[in-house]
Amino acid sequence: MSRSYYIAGNWKMHKTRAEAAELATALVKELRDGKHKYLVAPTFTALETVGAIVKRTNILLGAQNCAAEEQGAHTGEVSVLQLKDLGVQAVILGHSERRHTYKEDDALINKKVKLALKHGFEVILCVGELLEEREAGKAEAVCETQTVKGLEGVTAEELSKITIAYEPVWAIGTGKTATPEDADAIHAYIRKVVGKLYGADAAEKIIIQYGGSVKADNAALLMAKENIDGALVGGAALKPDTFVPIAKFG
């Protein structure tokens, strides 16, 4: 298996610039000898500060969202041009909080994915089912729809810039984690969906992270699974003590 592990920290709406700088500085030091691919996604207001700290290190700078338009009358939105100006390298799109709290649908997320790719960003496309969808036996179907619609119009060449994060909504920030077996089954299914769209080689190469209450004590078990290629971490990404052991697993 040629895929490498990719561990990303989503800091959500936490941390002032000074707090973000403290965390980023600690991570640069602790992860200097880390073997995997890393990303941190601070809140917009801390991107410049954190960007200066992670520049020319093995930690990528990510944003947690972007606008679907390049510029214009979009009060409160942040454009890919502005993110590029700050040195941002990747954008997380379709996070469950964007889908469910801020009502972003697949069409909007797809527009953002294509715009981010057009401007050279890597993208982490999040997909995942609600608890009621899982209980109704619809987890695979929901993830398939979100994957297919999220990737609509994305070329085979652009796909190399996409990471998919499987984040069952019921596991995010709740302390409940999908079992490694359940998560791996959905990852395998998503890989199959990517295979149907782009072929077996692309399916084999695509990185699929797991997200949902990943902690130091479950990270290694999750990532030992064949189809789990890393983690998108929320709560545990906010402190070096909890993020570094995940980032340095294995």
Does 214 sit near ligand PEP (CB under 6 A)? yes
State phi, psi for 100 to the nearest 5 degrees.
-100, -40
Of 211, 222, 243, 247, the residue at the interface with ligand PEP (CB under 6 A) is 211
Residue 72: CB minimum distance to ligand PEP, A: 29
Does 213 sit near ligand PEP (CB under 6 A)? yes
Distance of CA 141 to the CA centre of its chain: 20
Separation of alpha carbons 110 and 62, rounded Å: 18
Q: Which two tokens stand for residue 94?
A: 């379709």
Q: Is 70 an annotated catalytic residue?
A: no
Do you know the residue count of the chain?
250
Does 239 sit near ligand PEP (CB under 6 A)? no
Which run of H or E residues covers position 232? strand 230-233
Whose CB is nearest to ligand PEP?
234
Contact predicate 173/235, CB 8 Å: yes
Q: Is 97 an annotated catalytic residue?
A: no
Of 100, 141, 153, 173, the residue at the interface with ligand PEP (CB under 6 A) is 173
Does 162 sit near ligand PEP (CB under 6 A)? no
Contact predicate 39/64, CB 8 Å: no
State phi, psi for 76 to the nearest 5 degrees.
85, -5
Of 41, 117, 232, 244, the residue at the interface with ligand PEP (CB under 6 A) is 232
Does 212 sit near ligand PEP (CB under 6 A)? yes
Does 167 sit near ligand PEP (CB under 6 A)? yes
Contact predicate 39/61, CB 8 Å: yes
Does 110 sit near ligand PEP (CB under 6 A)? no
Provide the binding-site residues for ligand PEP, judged by CB under 6 A: 10, 167, 172-173, 211-214, 232-236
